[in-house]
Amino acid sequence: MSSNEWESDEEIQYFREYLRIPSVHPNPDYVPCVEFLKRQAEQIGLSMNVYYPANDQNPVVILTWKGLEPELPSILLNSHMDVVPVFPENWTHPPFGAEMDEEGRIFARGTQDMKCVGMQHLAAVRALKKSGARFKRTIHISFVADEEMGGRLGMRPFVNTLDFRALNVGFGLDEGLASPGDDFPLFYAERAVWRVYFHISGTAGHGSLLLPNTAGEKLNYIVGKMIALRRTQVQRLENNPESVIGDVTTINLTKISGGVQSNVVPPQLMVCFDCRLALDVDHEEFEATLQKWCNEVGGGIEITYEQKQPKVPPTAIDNSNPFWLAFKKATDELKLNLKPQIFTGGTDSRYIRQVGIPALGFSPMNNTPVLLHDHDEFLKADTYLKGIKIFQKIISNIANV
């Protein structure tokens, strides 16, 4: 297509309109998003409900297309409305301008993460409704708040409400990642996020002395153990070229604090690690190991957690899961090269899986540089429009399981 054709395309216009809404952290305003989605629902002919599972500032918007057999478990097409902060001085285009260049690259925060997928879900449903298609299962298209902050005010509380249970969800689709190659990443599981804080107490006193059992010595021991464990995971990746980051446990030191004065040995220090536990990690054993290290160095260390997610079984991608078979049949017919893997970071899929509902993460963006959370985030118009066609086929298949 030419730049003029892209400019005049209805779906590109809707996508750019949504991108221009600055629902950006740290204080996203979701009211314009809700108003925009209300207009979309009316235009497409979908019912709409808005829920507030955490507070009146963080909505969960559900647009619904009722199925022919509404008693069957429904399909949930999920996306999030919020986007991460921007540093405009590092962008060559306004971050919320949704400007498009001659190559059809649309520049805006959210083009990849993940306003694209939410709008592709809507566009696919719009096209299917226009074609007169009807499906067995009810389709819910959800737009949630706060995903970029861990879903604490959005999907995480929502899945435990009566409103969510009333949706009768049987299968969910959520976000994936772009791929710089020809393949399409397909995510069927996520690692458990543990944010571990070691609050280390020790002997305090004058900096001129060699006091025993200081917090600094203990901190050095704990950091050494954690970094040594990190090195084993680096080695696992290096030893298996087929592995991706989601296959191993990642451990990163993210915060250190403490100390009162340069010549005073402090009574307490704190060190924090961001840990993403691989699927093969025994959570109880991992926690016991952390406690063992604390005891080995003399005790006086309290462990707390900012996040401590449970082990959640992966979504089956075999003959036991009819939704997977329907999804795979669609992508096979479209001749898409899927690359199943475990997600690198975290998405709202983890909360859907946690309540026993199978979910897959998929963003149809191949031959695209991975720019989520980066400066000059963009998506090509052709890639976006191709993704709508892909979702039409996938939705048609999974909604008729």
Q: Two tokens at 108? A: 């805006």
Report pLDDT for 50. 98
Q: Which of 69, 56, 49, 57 is nearest to 142 (CA)?
A: 49
- Cite the residue boundaries of each domain of the chain with CATH code 3.40.630.10: 3-190+314-398
Q: Are 76 and 142 in contact (CB under 8 A)?
A: yes
Q: Which residue type is seen at 383? A: T
DSSP string covering 70-112: TTSPEEEEEEE--B----GGG-SS-TTT-EE-TT-EEE-TTTT
Beta carbons within 10 angstroms of residue 102's beta carbon: 8
- What is the Cβ-side half-sphere exposure of residue 99, based on CA atoms within 13 angstroms? 9
Report pLDDT for 269. 98
- Cite the residue boundaries of each domain of the chain with CATH code 3.30.70.360: 192-278+280-308
CA distance linking residue 294 with residue 172, whole number of Å: 41
All residue ranges of the chain with pLDDT < 50 are none
Q: Are 95 and 72 in contact (CB under 8 A)?
A: no
Q: Are 352 and 165 in contact (CB under 8 A)?
A: no
- Indicate which residues carry an active-site annotation: 82, 147
Length of the chain: 401
Sign of the Cα torsion 49, 52, 57, 59 reads: negative
- What is the Cβ-side half-sphere exposure of residue 221, based on CA atoms within 13 angstroms? 19
10 Å CB burial of residue 320 (0-12, 13-18, 19+) is exposed
Radius of gyration (Cα) for the chain, nearest Å? 24
Angle at 213 between CA 212 and CA 214, to 5 degrees: 95
Q: Is 368 helix (H, G, I), strand (E, B) or coil?
A: coil
CATH of 192-278+280-308, one of 3.40.50.300, 3.40.930.10, 3.30.70.360, 3.90.550.10: 3.30.70.360
Instruction: Give the model confidence (pLDDT) of 82-114 as tens digits.
Output: 999 999 999 999 999 999 999 999 999 999 999
Please report which helix (H) or strand (E) contains residue 184, including its range: strand 184-190
CA distance linking residue 183 with residue 392, whole number of Å: 19
Q: Two tokens at 222? A: 């704990």
Q: Are 152 and 340 in contact (CB under 8 A)?
A: no
Fold of 3-190+314-398: Aminopeptidase (3.40.630)
CA distance linking residue 122 with residue 118, whole number of Å: 6
Query: What torsion, rounded to 10 degrees, do the Cα atoms 53, 16, 174, 246 define?
Result: -110
